Structure 1
Amino acid sequence: MWLVFLKEIKELVRDKKTLFFMIAVPILVMPAFAGVAIYFAHSAATEAQNKVLNYALVGGQYAPNIDTEMLKTEGFARVEIEQDADYKELIKSQTVDFILEIPANYSNDILQSGQALIKLHLNDSGLNRVFNRVNDIVDAQVKLLRQTAFSQLSLSEDQQIALLKPIILEKVNTADTRENWGEKIGGLIPYFIFILCLQGAMFPAADLGAGEKERGTLETLLISPIERYKLVLGKFLTIAFAGLTSALITVTSLALWGLILSQGMAIEFVVAFMSSIGSVDFILMFLMLVPVVAIFASILLSLSIYAKSYKEAQSYMGTLMMLLFVPIFLAMAPGVELKGVWAWVPLTNVALAIKELIKGTMDYFQLIAIFGSTALIATGLLAFCIYWFNKEKVLFR
């Protein structure tokens, strides 16, 4: 068994593609992808904020202050339209970005005219910031009208504040920064960890089964004086080693990036959140991944043994990756917590446990049951893999 394991490991480290997915992706590629995504999102938001908006003002004579303010505000360009124009068609054809419709009852004396409903016609399907930019101008006019009305009523400053907000509901959050942000983003971290672990094990698994068939070296292994279950265990350990390496590098990378961020290279809440996660929690995350990787290794090896070719094995494994989304998405669903039946759902319970470790609210005694149940499933799948490898009709399809 160990001879097979050492042989496969030597071949594994010679495969640059496998090493890339095991090492480079967790350390560099995923953070780079995240950085690029954040950069482009920020660029798109900045572009939308600075874009010059073409607009039309209907009923501008009723609100000369708004008309004047928009004309002198940078980033707005007024377009004249016909009185009976089709607003929707003008916006669709990009003749204007929005149309502001002022009602006839608009007045600077709100005590006499009452509330006015201004309509903003726009296509709000994309990131355009139109509403926010127009709302800033309208809000400025609202404050002026409000101050005029308060002056007419001769209200003091305290009376004005009490009239605007007679009751204030103050939120006192008992959750600390770690628990608060762990609840918001803690479900995403198991998603990336599981995907990277599976991906790190996929490539060696496809090669150790289907790849051996294509190269014609599987028959040589079968006639060697080694019991078949030892061949399976040797290949299983190789795949599990690859997956665990990806898991270790992923968790280590997460800890290192957290350390970097905690040194002041990120915004304040990220620094506070990442620096609050202790080294013990990172170690427990890695230990929880050990039986998960064993599950992945058993399933992947079984699929690879069954496949006729390397390409067929990859198609099976691609389907497995899509199926993996189900238990992960369950862990991110609202109301799903590490209690009751969810504590026994395979993979979902591990994802929930990692989320609780990130939040700092983990009941550590639950880890024993979760680890034990996951290890039991992994053992059963490994036994099935050995049984599968002993079937001639599977090996020589």
Structure 2
Amino acid sequence: MKTTLTVFLKEVKENLRDRRTIMSALIFGPLIGPLLFVMIMNVVLTRELNKADQPIKVPVIGAQYAPNMIAALKQQGLVPQRAMADPETAVRDRTAEVVLRIPKDFDKSWHKGESAQVELIYDSSQSDTGGSVDRLKRMLEGYSRHQGAMRLVARGLSPTMMVPVSVDDRDQSTPQSRAGQLFAIMPYFFILTIFMGGMYLAIDLTAGERERQSLEPLFANPVPRWKILLGKLGAIYVFSLASLLICVTAFGVCGTFIPAERLGMLIDLGPAFAGQVLLIMVPLVMLLAALQTLVAAFAKSYREAQTYLSILMLVPALPSVMLSAMPVKVANWMYDVPLLGQQVGITQLLRGESLTMMEIAQCIVSGLVVALLATLVTAWVYRSERLAISA
């Protein structure tokens, strides 16, 4: 153990003096995710909320054919804008988000008691137009229902005849479960942080030393190579775990600046959440450190190792992509699959649901078993004499 501790302390001290490792493991890696996430969410949510609170400006073609409808829509927040000759081009060029066109025969159809048609011209492929279009549709539907009810009353009929089936919505979601859906990508940020926290260290301690030809003198010492490997892995563990701790803390702080409550949501990223995340993510710290070291051992240069690990970085994204593309019901066996179990567990925590001790134990045990296997394979690769040869 003395040899392992010596290697561990040496690698930690040397990498604490390396600016690239510090920037990647303790600054850029753990902080870029929370900062970008919060900035994007704030910009998007604030813009949509502000649009919802403000009157909606819509170009109206043929407003003179339906003055009563326009007056009713104005009371709901519509601000009619000047008509345009080519509304289709205006929508495609984003000069207008949505255009309301009222045909000339609107008044004639209205007085006959027939269905009077209007047109909404918009481009659904433009993501920033959805709020305005939905809002205008709700205004028109509300006006249509009200006028339909008035027609029935004028004929001595009950307005309820228009609603043969009444639907009573009973949404079982909670403010926190709705927030969990919004922040479903957060588990991937945690996994990516672990990867970034140990990547440059894993490269430097294997491929880097191999390229500098300092690995051969180290292996020449009369000590078992697995002890040297454990010392190097220990250093990677420390940096990866520190990176994860900073990231979880940063999300907890930055989460308070997201206006989730204005959307009727609640997000709790406090100490209880952070503690459970760290607990179930510790096995991944060990697993990814072993995998990074294993992959870097096959590279003959620092740059080559970067290429290999960049490809390996895609692996942690697979559970996130799978769950987002193919929503599945959470099953007990998922907690036995490393990466997937952590993804599911953190998503459940974000939804406000608690993890049982059995589920936490499944995440930890399965992760530790796979991490141990990866470490044994890496130790076997470290026995090769070719590992110390750079050419």
Could you state the TM-score of these two structures normalised by the residue count of structure 1? 0.79
Superposition map of 1:334-345 within 5 A: 334-339=326-331, 341-345=333-337
Residue ranges of structure 1 left out of the alignment (5+ in a row)? 82-86
1:19/1:95 CA distance change after superposition, 3 Å: closer
Residue identity in the other structure for 1:116: A
Q: 192, 195, 205: which one pairs with 2:192? A: 195
CA distance in 1 between counterparts of 2:98 and 2:169 reads 37
**CA 222–191 in structure 1, closer or farther in 2 if over 3 Å, else same:** same
Pick one of 148, 151, 163 that aligns with 1:149.
Answer: 151
Residue equivalent to 1:360: 353
- Per-residue displacement from partner, 1:152-210 (whole Å, max 9, x unpaired)? 2246xxx44x345454433334554434533x146322111101111111111111111
Counterpart for residue 261 of structure 2 = 268
Q: Determine if contact 2:337/2:367 at 8 Å carries over to the other structure.
A: no
Cα deviation digits, residues 270-300 of structure 1 (max 9, x gap): 897334x674443232121111111100111
Distance verdict in 2 for CA 1:122–1:170, change over 3 Å: closer
Once residues 286 and 270 of structure 1 are traced to their aligned partners in structure 2, the CA distance between those partners, rounded to angstroms, is 29
Note if contact 1:228-1:389 (Cα within 8 Å) is conserved in structure 2.
Answer: yes
Q: Deviations over 1:296-351 (max 9, x none)?
A: 00111112221111111111111111222112323445543442543333311221
| CA 354–39 in structure 1, closer or farther in 2 if over 3 Å, else same | closer
Task: Indicate the residue corresponding to 1:29 in structure 2.
Answer: 32
CA distance in structure 1 between the aligned counterparts of 2:105 and 2:310, rounded to whole angstroms: 62
Pair 105,361 (structure 1): closer, same or farther in 2 beyond 3 Å: farther
Question: What residue number does 2:83 align with?
Answer: 78
Pairing 1:306–2:304 present: no
* Equivalent in the alignment of 2:116: 116
Which residue identity lines up with residue 39 of structure 2 in the other structure? Answer: V
Q: CA deviation at 1:17?
A: 2.9
Deviates more, 1:215-224 or 1:291-300: 215-224
Structure 2 residue aligned with 1:285: 277
Of 365, 373, 397, 2:366 maps to: 373
Equivalent-residue separation in structure 2 for 1:336 and 1:140 (angstroms) = 36
Q: Aligned partners of 2:168 and 2:266: how far apart in 1?
A: 24
Of 234, 239, 246, 1:237 maps to 234
Match of 1:131?
Answer: 133
| Structure of higher RCO (CA pairs closer than 8 Å, 6+ residues apart) | 2
12-21 or 2-11: which moved more? 12-21
1: CA distance between counterparts of 2:103 and 2:307?
Answer: 61
Change (3 A) 1:395 1:108: farther
1:171 maps to which residue? 169
Give the corresponding residue for 2:315. 323
Identify the match of residue 205 of structure 2 among 198, 204, 208.
208
In structure 2, what is the equivalent of residue 84 of structure 1? none
Q: Identity over the aligned pairs, expressed in percent?
A: 23
Q: Once the 2 structures are TM-superposed, how far is the Cα of residue 238 of structure 1 from its aligned partner?
A: 0.9
What's the TM-score once normalised by structure 2's chain length?
0.80
Displacement of 1:380: 0.5
Q: Is the alpha carbon distance of 1:123 and 1:350 closer, same or farther for their aligned partners in structure 2, counting shifts above 3 Å? A: closer
2:375 paired residue number: 382
CA contact (8 A) 2:61 2:102 kept: no
- Alignment CA distance shift 1:340-1:47 (3 Å): closer
Distance 1:175 1:318, change over 3 A: same
CA distance in 2, matches of 1:233, 1:88: 66
Residues 353 and 362 of structure 1 are in contact (CA less than 8 Å); yes or no, is this contact kept in structure 2? Answer: yes
Q: Distance in 2 between matches of 1:199 and 1:179?
A: 29
Q: 1:146 to 1:367 in 2, by over 3 A?
A: same
Q: What is the root-mean-square deviation in Å for CA atoms of aligned residues?
A: 3.7
Using the alignment, how far apart are the partners of 1:270 and 1:113 within structure 2?
A: 40
Q: How far apart are the structure 1 equivalents of 2:213 and 2:368?
A: 34
Separation in structure 2 between the aligned mates of residue 141 and residue 176 of structure 1, nearest angstrom: 31
SS in 2 for 1:273: coil
Structure 2 residue ranges without an equivalent (≥5): none
Counterpart of 2:217 in structure 1: which amino acid? T
Q: 2:17 aligns with which of 14, 17, 21?
A: 14
Q: 2:79 and 2:173 mapped to 1: Cα distance?
A: 42
**Could you tell me how far apart the structure 2 residues matched to 1:247 and 1:71 are?**
52
Q: CA deviation at 1:395?
A: 3.8
Counterpart of 2:179 in structure 1 is 181
